[in-house]
Amino acid sequence: SPQDKNALHLYSVNGKYLGSETLKEEVSDLCVTGEYIVMGSLQGFLSIRDLYSLSLSISPLAMRLPIHCISVTKEYSHILVGLEDGKLIIVGVGKPAEV
């Protein structure tokens, strides 16, 4: 089934396998920000995961439309989410330690 195909795999810089996490959604964009992975999916969910454990840092936020792109501001204060209908959603996150 399509659900089995979506996973995050974590490797060290020298290629050592560190772990993986199966995903329910199809990832459309992601960016690594500090110690977090910020991901958007075609199913319309914005997820923030811990870079080392790959576990969810907060419950995924439902955007209700496919997410086409993700960007995080330099100060890590906001996540910019581009949706299929052309809307730009701005999500305030505070400092990464408070996410």
Gap between the Cα atoms of 5 and 32, Å rounded = 21
CATH 2.40.10.360 corresponds to the domain 7-92: yes
Per the prediction, the chain carries an average pLDDT of 90
Nearest to 70 by CA among 54, 53, 83, 51: 83
Domain boundaries, the chain: 7-92
Instruction: Dump pLDDT digits (tens) for 28-68.
Output: 999 999 899 999 999 999 999 999 999 999 999 999 999 99
Residue 2: its pLDDT value, please?
Answer: 53
Provide the CB-side half-sphere exposure for 65 (13 A, CA): 11
